[in-house]
Amino acid sequence: MKPFSFFHKASILLTLCAIMVASNIYTLIPIYSVLSENLGIAESHVVIAGGLFTFFYACGLLSFGPVSDYTGRRKILVFGLLASAVATCAVGFSTGSFSLWITRAFQGLALATFASVAFAYSYDLFTARQRTILVVLINTGFLIAGIFGQVASAFLAEAFSWNAVFYFFAVVYFILFSAAFFLLKESPGHSVERKPLVTIFFQLLKEPRLMKCYLITFSLLFAIIAFYDAIGRFFAGPASDLLLIRLVGLIGATLSLFTGTLMDRWGELRTLMFGLAIGSSSAFILLFLQTTGALVILSIFFVSSISLVIPTVITMIGFYGRSQRAKALSLYSFVLMTGASLAPPVAAVLPFKGVMLLLALLFFFNIFLCISIKEKAFQSAKAG
């Protein structure tokens, strides 16, 4: 039997890291009331802890990609997992509002060492075909985390205690740190432009094609969170049916495994427009059809669209970013999380049909952004 290559081992490890790291974005959602009761604090204080996590996670995403240009990708990935283990364990020792806020903020910053650095790492070490596969697997892991994080948190809190949720993930991060320490190798060094980080970010935003990619990026996690939030508020059926609607969405994540094949056959821009068309159509149909069966089927299609669009956008940003690729991907991760943070309040204000109409129009607008990016210009950037 042929032994696993470094690419295969790294792919398995980084995919597991993606699932476990992103899971802690969602762990508080099912245990707000449990934490409130056990710590003797207002539930709003637990929500604030979630907001602090998101803020520091987003700031970390913006920072660690550029830092890895100087330190090397491996150091950030490996020791970021160790810091994540320590920070996550600390959350489990929280005794009140202040300690929960501090530890969740630290946890968000530590976990932010993974996403943008992992994408840059895949560009540095692997061929174009391998890179596409790895980016797809990492993003599939992120999508799985949206379900796994909530299910694991609810199960552990009910079976043991809320502290067990964070002790479990702390142990997992330490195991992943140990595996990464021995398995991952350093990416090749490259020259780094010595400019202020803010200046480089503004330069990236001034590039018209990158700016269009970032506008599309903003809508992606915004869409998936607003979609499920709206369903959760609207759906009046049994809890088992709501769980089914959420779980079957994972079937749609499997479409991401075909992203590389579609990009090879159609090109990146056509693949991107295809994914956006699926998402826009799914949301539009839900304006008129809201039975349980329709919600189940269309949730699969909607998740399919996101799972297809995200790796395609990352591929395009990686090409357009060129020598500033790590910073371009850090900015991508920051924009993605900014959109995610705005989804819950928007979904809370709008009725179900209002959310679906907004998502349908948003994705339709993104298709026009894709049309405005010339295919020849992208192929030129890709060749460069």
3-state helix, strand, coil in the chain (%, to 5): 85, 0, 15
Q: What architecture is the 1-188 domain classified under in CATH?
A: Up-down Bundle (1.20)
φ, ψ of residue 205 in degrees (nearest 5): -70, -25
φ, ψ of residue 32 in degrees (nearest 5): -55, -50
How far apart are alpha carbons 155 and 164 in whole angstroms? 10
How far apart are alpha carbons 25 and 44 in whole angstroms? 17
Mean pLDDT score of the chain:
84
How large a percentage of the chain has pLDDT more than 70?
Answer: 94
Q: What is the pLDDT of residue 3?
A: 62
234-242: list long-range contacts, CB under 8 Å, 24+ apart: 234/290, 234/351, 234/352, 235/295, 237/292, 241/292
Among 13-17, 20-24, 334-338, 365-369, whose mean pLDDT is lowest?
Answer: 334-338
- pLDDT reading at 114 higher than 70: yes
Query: Looking at the domain 196-384, which fold is it?
Result: Growth Hormone; Chain: A; (1.20.1250)
Decide if 1-188 and 196-384 have a common fold: yes
- pLDDT reading at 213 higher than 50: yes
Instruction: Classify burial at 24, counting beta carbons within 10 Å of its beta carbon; exposed 0-12, middle 13-18, buried 19 or more.
Output: buried
Of residues 88 and 189, which shows the higher confidence score?
88
One-letter amino acid at 366 equals N
The model carries a pTM of: 0.77
pLDDT, tens digit (0-9, with 9 covering 90-100), for 224-246:
878 887 887 788 888 778 778 87
Task: For residues 142-166, give the mean pLDDT.
Answer: 86
Q: Could you give the angle at the alpha carbon of 207 between the alpha carbons of 205 and 208, nearest 5°? A: 105
- pLDDT reading at 190 higher than 70: no
- pLDDT reading at 188 higher than 90: no
- Domain ranges within the chain, ordered by starting residue: 1-188, 196-384
Q: What is the pLDDT of residue 1?
A: 46
pLDDT level of residue 264 (50, 70, 90 thresholds): confident
pLDDT level of residue 31 (50, 70, 90 thresholds): confident
pLDDT, tens digit (0-9, with 9 covering 90-100), for 50-72:
888 888 888 888 888 778 878 88
**Residue 249: CB atoms within 10 Å:** 26
